[in-house]
Structure 1
C-alpha cells in the first residue's frame, strides 16, 4: 500500500512532462492517490496531451489563480471528481522575463512586480482558501520555492516573490494549523523546467550547483524533488508545518 493510498490531491501548475508538478502526479498516483490537475488558458492543451501518458489519466480543470471567479467556483468543480481534498500542490510562479529577470532588478516597473507577487506568492494563500471547504482533517498544502533567504544572480524579482511565498507559507501554517492543516515548501535546486528556461542566463545556476553541491546535482532529475513533495503530502510528517525542506544536493548548507 502506498503512502498516499486513499488520498485526493490537487496538483496546480502542470504544463509539460518536464514540470515538477507532472512528476509529482506520477509519483502520487503510484503511491495510491487520486489526483486532479489544473492549468489555464492556452497551456491547457499542452497539459491534456501530457496527461494522456498517465494511467489512470487524471482529470484536468481550468484554474487561473489570479481569476476570482475561477477560485470561487473551484470547490464545486473539484466536487465533480472528488468529495474532499487531502492535499494541494502549488507549483505556480511567473515573472516577466523581459523586465523582472536577468539583471533588470533596478528598473522593473511595479505593475510587473505586483503581478509576479500575485501569481507566485499571494496565490498560495488564495488557492489554499479556495480549497479550504474541501480540506479533510490533517490536509497538507505543499508549495515549491527556490530558496529566497539569499539573493541569486539574475533571479531578481522572482527571488523577491519567492521570499514573499516563503513568508506566506509560514503565515498559512499559523492560521490553518488550528484546523489541522499543514503548509510546507520544498526548496529545490535548479531543474530543467519551462520556468527555468524562461530565465535569461539561468545556465549560471547549473555551474554553481555543479561545483558546490556536496551530493552533486542533476538538473534533469525531477524525482528527488517530487519525492519530497509526496512525502509532505503523506501522513509521515504529521507535526511538521511552516517548514522549508531543501532538496538541492546540500548546497544551502555550504559557504563559499
Structure 2
C-alpha cells in the first residue's frame, strides 16, 4: 500500500485512457483518497469517468487559468479532504495556431504558456494551504530538450514547464514539498490526438526505444507518478524521470 492514508488531487482526467486516470486508479488501489478536478463542458465527462475508478471520486471544478478558481481551490478541496499530501498536474493546452512555429501569434503562444507552464506554479500555490505538512507535486511532460516535429510552441511551453518545476523545487523544498516530473513517451490520449501530426511524432518511437514502446499503455507512466507521489523518494526533487522506453538516452 504505497500511498496508504495519502490525500491526493489529480487533475486532467478526461478519459479512462489518460495517464491521469491511471494515476488516480493506482493511487486508490495503493490506499490513497483521491479528488479529481475538471472544468467547463468536460466536468460531466470527468464525473462519468470517475465512476470507473475502484471507488467513485469527487470532482471539483478547476480552470487553472481562472484566478477565482485558484483562489478558492483550498476551500473547495477542504469540503472533501482535510489536507493534501500530493498533487498531479496533468494539464496542457495550446490553440491550433501554436502548432505552426513561425506563424503563431503571441496570443496563441501566451495561451499555451499560461495553461501549460505557468499553471504548474499557479496550482502549487493554490494547493499550498492544504500542504502544511509537506508533500509531493508531480507533473507530466514531454522531453523538452529537443525540437520535435509538429510540437512547436507546445514544446517551448514544456521547456518552460520543466524550468518552472526546478524553481518550485527550490522554493517549496524548505516547506517539505517535492516537485518532480515524469517525461512520458507518446501515449494515444485524447490530448495527444489533438496535436496536428501526432502520428508523425509518435510513429518511430517503438523502433528507437531499447525497451520497446506501447503508446496504448499509460500504466508505466502512471506507476512512475504514483511512486513520486509516495514517500519512497523523500530526498528527490527537481528531477525528471523518463518513462519512454529509453528513447531519451539514444542517439538518432
| Interval of TM-score (by shorter of Structure 1 and Structure 2) | over 0.9
Secondary structure of 2:159's match? helix
Are 2:150 and 2:201, in contact at CA under 8 Å, matched by a contact in 1?
Answer: no
Equivalent position of 1:156 in the other structure: 152
Specify which of 161, 165, 170 is matched with residue 161 of structure 2: 165
Correspondence for 2:98 among 97, 100, 105 = 100
- Three-state SS of the structure 2 residue aligned to 1:26 is helix
1:55 aligns with 2:54: yes
Counterpart residue number, 2:40: 41
Distance 1:131 1:38 in 2: 13
> Matches of 1:111 and 1:193 in 2, distance apart?
26
Q: How does 1:232-243 map to 2 (within 5 A)?
A: 232-243=228-239
Is 1:14 the counterpart of 2:13? The answer is yes
Aligned to 2:240: 244
| CA displacement at 1:13 relative to structure 2 | 1.4
Q: 1:55: how far off?
A: 2.9
**Distance in 1, Cα, partners of 2:216 & 2:134:** 32
The offset of 1:186, in angstroms, is 0.2
Structure 1 SS opposite 2:72: helix
The match for 2:23 is: 24
1:204 counterpart (193, 197, 200): 200
Q: 172, 176, 179: which is aligned to 1:176?
A: 172
Instruction: List runs of 5+ in structure 2 lacking aligned partners.
Output: none
* 1:138–1:238 contact (8 Å) kept in structure 2: no
TM-score, scaled relative to structure 2: 0.99
**Greater mean deviation of Cα atoms: 203-212 or 179-188:** 203-212
* Post-superposition offset of 1:136: 4.2
Which whole-Å deviations, capped at 9, do the CAs of 1:138-189 have from their partners, x for residues lacking one?
3000000000011100000000000000000000000000011000000000
User: 2 CA distance for matches of 1:223 and 1:86?
Assistant: 22
Counterpart CA distance in 2 for 1:113 and 1:255 is 30
Q: Which runs of 5+ in 1 are unaligned?
A: none
**2:249 equivalent in structure 1:** 253
Q: Residue 84 of structure 2 aligns with which residue?
A: 85
SS in 2 for 1:107: coil
Name the counterpart of 1:191.
187
Residues in 2 aligned to 1:55 and 1:163: alpha-carbon distance in whole angstroms: 35
Q: CA deviation at 1:124?
A: 0.3
SS of the residue corresponding to residue 183 of structure 1 reads: strand
Aligned-pair Cα RMSD in Å: 0.8
CA shift digits 1:113-145 (9 cap, x unpaired): 001000000000000000000004230000000
How many residue pairs are counted as aligned between the two chains?
A: 252
